[in-house]
Structure 1
Amino acid sequence: MTKVAIIQARMSSERLPGKVLKEVNEKPLLLHQLERVARSKHVEKIVVATSTNPADDEIEKFAKKGNISLFRGSEGDVLSRFEGAAQETGATTVIRLTADCPLSDPEVIDHVITKYLEQPNACKFATNAIPRSYPAGLEVECFSREALEIASLEAKEDYDREHVTPFFYRNPHRFFPLSVVSTINYSKERWTLDEQSDFYLIKKIMEALSQIKVDFKMVDVLNILDANPDWRKLNSAVQETPRLVTDNIFKGADSG
Structure 2
Amino acid sequence: MSTKLATRPVVCITQARINSYRLPAKVLRLIAGQPLLWWHLDRLKRARRVDRIVVATTGEPAADAIVEIAEAAGAAVFRGSEHDVLDRFAGAAALVGAATIVRVTSDCPVIDPALIDQAIALYESAGDACHYASLDVSTFPRGLDCEVFSRQALDEAAAEAVLREDREHVTPFIRRNTERYAARFLSTAPLERTYRWCVDTPADFELARRIVEQFAGADFGWTDIVALMRARPDWAALNMDVAQTPVA
TM-score (norm. length: structure 2) = 0.93
Distance 2:193 2:144 in 1: 10
Aligned residue-pair number: 241
1:148 to 146, 154, 166: 154
- Mapping 1:124-203, distance limit 5 Å: 124-130=131-137, 132-185=138-191, 188-203=194-209
| Structure 1 CA distance for aligned equivalents of residues 9 and 192 of structure 2 | 31
The answer to whether residue 245 in structure 2 is matched with residue 228 in structure 1 is no
- Alpha-carbon offset, residue 55 of structure 1: 2.5
- 1:242 positional shift: 2.3
Can you list the C-alpha shifts for 1:12-33, whole angstroms capped at 9, x where unaligned? Answer: 1111011011111101111111
- C-alpha distance in 2, partners of 1:86/1:150? 13
Residue aligned with 1:70, SS: strand
Backbone CA RMSD of aligned residues: 1.5
Unaligned runs of 5+ in 2: 1-7
In the other structure, the counterpart of 1:252 is none
Contact 2:38 2:70 in 1 (8 A): no
Amino acid at match of 1:133: T
Unaligned stretches of 5+ in structure 1?
Answer: 245-256
Cα distance in 1 for partners of 2:44, 2:228 equals 21
Match of 1:254 in 2: none
Cα distance in 1 for residues equivalent to 2:156 and 2:188: 29
Q: CA deviation at 1:54?
A: 2.4
1:79-124 CA distance string (max 9 Å, x none): 0110111111111000001001111101110111111111131421
CA deviation vs aligned residue, 1:173-212 (integer Å, no higher than 9, x gap): 11011122113447711001000000010111111122xx
Change (3 A) 1:63 1:186: farther
Within a 5 Å distance, the mapping from 1:43-58 to structure 2 comes to 43-58=50-65
After TM superposition, the score normalised by the length of structure 1 is: 0.90
- Once the two structures are TM-superposed, the CA of residue 53 in structure 1 deviates from its matched residue by 2.1
Cα distance in 2, alignment partners of residues 243 and 186 from structure 1: 24
User: Partners in 1 of 2:192 and 2:113 — Cα distance?
Assistant: 17
Partner in structure 2 of residue 249 of structure 1? none
1:91 is matched with: 98
Structure 2 counterpart SS, 1:162: helix
Does residue 24 of structure 2 align to residue 17 of structure 1? yes
Quote the offset at 1:214 in angstroms.
1.0
- Comparing 115-124 with 169-178, greater Cα deviation is found at 115-124
Instruction: Letter of the 2:43 partner, please give it.
Output: R
* 1:218 counterpart residue number: 222
Find the residue that maps to 1:121 and give its secondary structure.
Answer: helix
Is this contact kept in 2: 1:4–1:94, CA < 8 A? yes
Q: Report deviation, 1:157.
A: 0.4
Partner of 1:250: none
1:120–1:61 CA distance, 2 compared to 1 (3 A): closer
Match of 2:243 in 1: 239
Q: Distance in 2 between matches of 1:159 and 1:42?
A: 30
Q: Which amino acid in the other structure matches residue 94 of structure 1?
A: I
% identical aligned pairs: 42
Say if 1:40 and 1:109, in contact at 8 Å, map to a contact too. Answer: yes
Structure 1 runs (4+) greater than 4 angstroms displaced: none
Provide Cα deviations, 1:156-176, integer angstroms capped at 9, x if missing partner. 001101100000111111101
